[in-house]
Structure 1
């Protein structure tokens, strides 16, 4: 059985959005969008992995795959809920209007119909794709009722009164929408409201709505908000909102803020960990496949971020790295040498104004109250991508850095998660220059 440490990676070929992230029967379950044939996007399945601690992952193979007329062309993103001991997986089912004759894994002219479906697993380990599937919401009628193609990614939760709520991402007149539904049993659903705003992009993907310490938060992935000709135009944001769970009425309390300022992370999903803390994992987008994996897996493309807590601090939503991650880094390290043995490195320290670090060619620098990064030297010469990134003004007041380095990804946690900058890299060197408080690695992986 294939295992991953710290970051869940594609078991070969392609992954994207995390799905069905849940702590269930003593284990963390993380499903993910998966095309099992090539390291590029295609007909979506749900891959499945489990973990005891959010850092050691065991791949369990494919959980969901197309098997019905309504999902024959893709099992798109969704969430998981435990009901009476069983695991319910809600997802978007896709049926192409017509398959591309040159590639049946793509829709001709990108035309398809989306509905919402459910699989019930008795144990979180077995998934009956033939007899346990049901369609719970048909293709939308269009207009204000919901776009028949671009309505997707159900987030389902149990409300305070014991009934169920669902929110879907959608679009109307070029503006992102939230569509709300309620249900007494999670099986039969009734429309309960709609909210739209330009802050939700042209279409909102992967909505995640939750109450944290008495305040509601909307996580989502609005499309088109950085459409400047560079990859990627779609990003993930958070916003404080007011939300009435009974009436499903929502109002924004502020403007959107990026979840991760490296702009490689997308489609984050949250759940509660074993201690009841909210934890987030997101998909890290990669421009190409890794073809020389040390464990012999097939060329792979796409990985998940480190798990991050979600917490309020001084009115700001922060994303500090999960303590199960930091607990792994106990061994003093000699620079970036552990990377040669495929072991990650943790760097800790503070930057004063004008100071910088060089991490194998990735450059980090503080200018005033901003943190600037430049990966031009470690991105394989690729063009059309964002090579520089910066955390917003004010987030580098103390500029205490906690940096986790692997061969394909560097994650920078600034001032205890007040801002996070995650950057895909290629070809890190062995140069390590900077004034560090600690350089550590893991005992084994």
Structure 2
């Protein structure tokens, strides 16, 4: 069962803590060559390559790569009523929260006749990738498409692997979610080939190259994003899911264990970490994990994740020490189950999304909190953020100077351009006053 790291009595620095952090062994570089070859194949052969790759990796040859809009409509009609209601509520909540993420245009006066405007322009087109392997993540359709729509993106294409269980079609719940959002350009393609199709386009399918690719995926999807970065923008190289729970003696061991399991069931490489200053809670959580595993559908997958090097119970002296460990880890999902979650929050700097209190579990954020569940993993929360409407926007500066405004800075431009031995810069300004 899950390992224990005892850091009580120690005062490791940030670098030492980073070395102690349990991490999954995921090396994107090992998949880069394979991903590059698959992308090149799609670039050269287009639809034929996508069909061959589907047969090879997904075990089925789809009847068509581009999904007929009629099939999307049928998937919407075929949605279970409860699932449809949940998707519609998720769409509503994520749309409301995403609107708050759109920056306002601003105008900054810098002097008489001197103004710099800041405006935000959406990218022209987006390719959304939705995995369909261990789980068909219809919720990821919502989390990727809604902020793009709120940002004002005109063209959204969606790719998801063909499913052998559905005759090579995209999973019907994913299709239904796309239909609820009005996305009618859906493609049955997966893995690195799908990322290549987004980056370079497939004219025979009516798929033009996109400007930005978003969405989670396995190591080959992450490697493919790395390969095409620069040709297109990417959101992130997402890795296996992570949860870190900071809990004190007052936390409910049943709930802590349930939340750790909720992420461990995703993948054998999922990370589940508890950091606590209460040894008695740690023991109770281990017992609960053993008990609850028996009732978990994906128990073998979850047990492998919990037994892996990436999962641990970490014992510390106090909650400030737990916060320092968490910052060194920079988790994708951070839960604060302490007597004073707001006080603990004040100690936290680095995390993808933070869930306060026992009634704000990570599962809430995965589906219906209104927040986005596409978040940085592998410690990337130290320098990057989760997906938001702002991710689909580009800030642009608009400079508006009249003659008087330019005259006021003319001498400064002349001085700096001469100092940098770029006199034509100064000449371009002086000629406006000849």
Q: What is the TM-score normalised by the length of structure 2? A: 0.30
Larger radius of gyration: 2
Q: Give the structure with the larger strand fraction.
A: 1
Greater RCO (CA < 8 Å, at least 6 residues apart): 2
TM value normalised by structure 1: 0.29
